[in-house]
């Protein structure tokens, strides 16, 4: 029996997400920003928590497997429609590389209004996955990811990141990416290795 190209992963295809998802994820992102930037009195915390708990109870009735949830597969939405990912969108997608544009927000601050150092590798790991997909490579896992921080990454600022495959070596794809600000200042650079999975590898 021939092993499918998904290598044991569920086959995830881009979906046309319902328009309501865009508004919902935008609201969740706003909630994330507010959760780390406000200091209301105790009764406001309680009231807000109760509203969130009611929303969770309503959504829990509709939990589905990952292959059926549109979040993370909505390619036309910022962050693929997933609150886990920063609100960036793909602006160029092809075998020669992937360009992404977007910004980081208050939720992503690590200190002194700069983007948390750990958020940036998360972004690059996602970006590299998009590069591998655009190149038509099979399902791959990250073997390593190295980030060099060149300058402080600001929030609420339009940024751009360009990534591509540097070279291929059998199952291995070596990748690079660079993030810049509107003036072209290099904020960070990343290199990584993505390895194509063997049959039955998780």
- What confidence tens digit (pLDDT) does each residue in 146-199 have? 999 999 999 999 999 999 999 999 999 999 999 999 999 999 999 999 999 988
177-194 in b/e form (b: 16+ CB < 10 A) is: bbbbbeeeeebbbbbbbb
Domains in the chain with CATH codes: 12-81 (no CATH), 86-202 (3.10.129.10)
Prediction pTM value: 0.91
102-139 residue pLDDT tens: 999 999 999 999 999 999 999 999 999 999 999 999 88
How many other C-beta atoms can be found within 10 angstroms of the C-beta atom of residue 72?
A: 19
């Amino acid at each position: 029996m021939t092993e499918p190209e998904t290598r044991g992963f569920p086959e995830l295809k881009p979906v046309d997400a319902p328009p309501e998802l865009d508004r919902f994820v935008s609201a969740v992102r706003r909630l994330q920003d507010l959760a780390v930037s406000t200091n209301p009195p105790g009764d406001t915390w309680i009231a807000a928590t109760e509203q969130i708990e009611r929303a969770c109870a309503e959504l829990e009735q509709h939990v589905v497997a990952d292959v059926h949830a549109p979040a993370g597969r909505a390619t036309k939405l910022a962050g693929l429609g997933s609150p886990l990912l920063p609100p960036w969108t793909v602006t160029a997608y092809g075998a020669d590389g992937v360009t992404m544009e977007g910004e980081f927000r208050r939720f992503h601050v690590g200190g002194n209004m700069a983007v948390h150092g750990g958020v940036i590798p998360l972004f690059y790991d996602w970006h590299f996955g998009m590069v591998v997909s655009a190149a038509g490579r099979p399902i791959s896992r990250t073997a390593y990811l190295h980030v060099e921080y060149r300058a402080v990454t600001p929030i609420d600022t339009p940024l751009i990141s360009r990534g591509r495959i540097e070279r291929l070596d059998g199952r291995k794809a070596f990748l690079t990416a660079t993030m810049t600000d509107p003036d072209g200042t290099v904020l960070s650079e990343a290199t990584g290795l993505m390895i194509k999975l063997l049959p039955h590898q998780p």
